[in-house]
Amino acid sequence: MTTPSGYLELAGVEKRFGETAVLHGIDLSIAEGEFVSLIGPSGSGKTTTLRIITGTDEPTSGAVRLRGEDITFVPAHKRGFAMVFQHFALFPHKNVYDNVAYGLQLRGTAKRELTERVTTMLERVHMREYASRRVNELSGGQRQRVAIARALVIEPRLVLLDEPTGALDAKLRLRMQSQLKELHRELGLTFVHVTHNQSEALALADRVFVMNDGRVEQSGPPASVFNAPATRFVADFVGRNNLIDGTVEGGDFVTALGTFALNGRVARDGLRGSCTAVIRSDSLRLGEPPEGCPRLEAELQALEYGGSFVTWFLHAAGTALQLDLRAEESGELEPAIGRRYRVWWKPEDAHYLCND
Ligand SMILES: Nc1ncnc2c1ncn2[C@@H]1O[C@H](COP(=O)(O)OP(=O)(O)O)[C@@H](O)[C@H]1O
Ligand SMILES: [Mg+2]
């Protein structure tokens, strides 16, 4: 895949706090109008990267460029970027209209234009009828919409969102996600979004950057990162994957759970040395496998009911496995904790990551 040419670029960005290196050389290139998400576990460097983009912090080395221009040391308030935080940062005693108008007033926008832009933006986030309501009289979801309106009304050159739905309950989060996506489509602005919630990133982003320990481990469209994780870390972090470690010996994959024939894949996929088989939780199956399918025995340890499907948590030779079944199918099997089950998969549903 070719990387879209850079509207915003980070080149070799490193950050140290005293002796501690927190970012180890971040390279990012984001196209104008793109919606990108930085995802990764807590402490992986997402917020630090975002602060360097906004100008609230400076890198120890490396550069930040906007349309090719070096902005590494341009102060935050001169970048023309907008920030949406998890904790809103609204003026609680001002009304909705004044909160949204604030950035335009600072810029000395003429009264008529200001009224028009604020009103249009309030309509876009479905808050026009609340214009004269004070912020501290609004629900969390409404406050978040005001915060988004306030950020976008200045037509920023870049919109940065740090865990924007983190303070909302699950149902509201989904509504807010579809609204963010819609605003992005309508306004054509460039969005850089940070989250530890992978399903949010997969739902919103044109491209995701998976961060681990101050590095970008993989980037690409959500579907490609999801379906073809490039490293064991990404396979573990993104999606609902089973990871089985082993070594390729001759034509076989030798693991603590058993030895599985790799057939033609050793040559075709260039498998060698120590590898991890990655199998999605909806690709593991139960029961009698067809001829030629890898199989093993595992003990059922727990069940988790997720509405239309049930997740089975199993254990085999020190390896945790998880398997998603449709609720009816799971019910028919009358699962019993502690019982052993035959688990199998189709050879083509295993994706191998090898170290060398
Ligand atoms: N001002 C600071 N001083 C020292 N260490 C910091 C500072 N800010 C962040 N860190 C450390 O940098 C690492 C990355 O933090 P952060 O960027 O906030 O991660 P994330 O947003 O992915 O959770 C963490 O180990 C954190 O403790
Ligand atoms: Mg953070």
CATH number of the domain where residue 178 is located: 3.40.50.300
Q: Residue whose CA is closest, atom 20 of ligand 1? A: 43
The shares of helix, strand and coil residues in the chain, as percent rounded to the nearest 5, are 30, 35, 35
Of 202, 227, 252, the residue that ends a domain is 227
pLDDT tens for the chain, 356 residues: list them. 444 468 999 999 999 999 999 999 999 999 999 999 999 999 999 999 999 999 999 999 999 999 999 999 999 989 999 988 766 678 888 999 999 999 899 889 999 999 999 999 999 989 999 999 999 899 888 888 899 999 999 989 999 998 888 777 888 888 888 888 988 998 899 999 999 888 889 889 999 999 999 999 999 999 899 888 999 999 999 988 999 999 999 999 999 999 999 988 888 989 999 999 999 999 999 999 999 999 999 999 999 998 899 999 999 998 999 999 999 999 999 999 999 999 999 999 999 999 86
Residues 22 and 164 in one domain: yes
Q: Which amino acid is at 271?
A: L
Beta bridge partners of 274: 247
pLDDT of residue 197: 86
> What is the position in ligand 1's atom list of the atom closest to the CA of 51?
17
Residues 244 and 310 in one domain: yes
Cα 243 to ligand 1 centre (Å):
29
pLDDT of residue 179: 86
> What is the position in ligand 1's atom list of the atom closest to the CA of 50?
17
Write out the H or E segment, with its range, that includes residue 176: helix 170-187
pLDDT of residue 24: 97
Cα 343 to ligand 1 centre (Å):
41
pLDDT of residue 87: 64
Residues 80 and 210 in one domain: yes
Residue of 13, 15, 17, 233 best suited for mutating to test ligand 1, as the one with most atoms within 8 Å of CB = 17
Residue with tokens 């739902």: 203
Cα 46 to ligand 2 centre (Å):
6
CA–CA dist 323, 263 (Å, integer): 24
> What is the position in ligand 1's atom list of the atom closest to the CA of 162?
21
Residues 209 and 62 in one domain: yes
For ligand 1, whether the C-beta of 166 sits within 6 Å is no
Q: Residue whose CA is closest, atom 18 of ligand 1? A: 47
> What is the position in ligand 1's atom list of the atom closest to the CA of 38?
22
Residue with tokens 């602060």: 51
> What is the position in ligand 1's atom list of the atom closest to the CA of 18?
4
> Cα 122 to chain center, whole Å?
28
Residues 58 and 157 in one domain: yes
pLDDT of residue 221: 96
Provide the residue range defining the domain that includes 255: 240-354
Cα 242 to ligand 1 centre (Å):
29
Cα 70 to ligand 2 centre (Å):
25
Q: Residue whose CA is closest, atom 2 of ligand 1? A: 17
- Across 18-39, b (16+ Cβ under 10 Å) vs e yields eeeebbebbebbbeeebbbbbb
Cα 44 to ligand 2 centre (Å):
8
Residue 254 lies in a domain: yes
pLDDT of residue 5: 64
Residues 113 and 31 in one domain: yes
Q: Residue whose CA is closest, atom 7 of ligand 1? A: 17
For ligand 1, whether the C-beta of 308 sits within 6 Å is no
Residues 191 and 223 in one domain: yes
Distances (CA, A) of 67 to 54, 220, 221, 262: 15, 21, 22, 48
For ligand 1, whether the C-beta of 19 sits within 6 Å is no
Q: Residue whose CA is closest, atom 5 of ligand 1? A: 17
Q: Any idea what the CATH number is for the domain that residue 334 is in? A: 2.40.50.140
Residue with tokens 């579907």: 223
Q: Residue whose CA is closest, atom 25 of ligand 1? A: 43
Number of compact structural domains in the chain: 2
For ligand 1, whether the C-beta of 21 sits within 6 Å is no
Residues 145 and 14 in one domain: yes
Residue 334 lies in a domain: yes
Cα 46 to ligand 1 centre (Å):
8
Residues 281 and 321 in one domain: yes
Q: Any idea which ligand is nearest the CA of 162?
A: 2
Residues 144 and 251 in one domain: no
CA–CA dist 17, 12 (Å, integer): 17
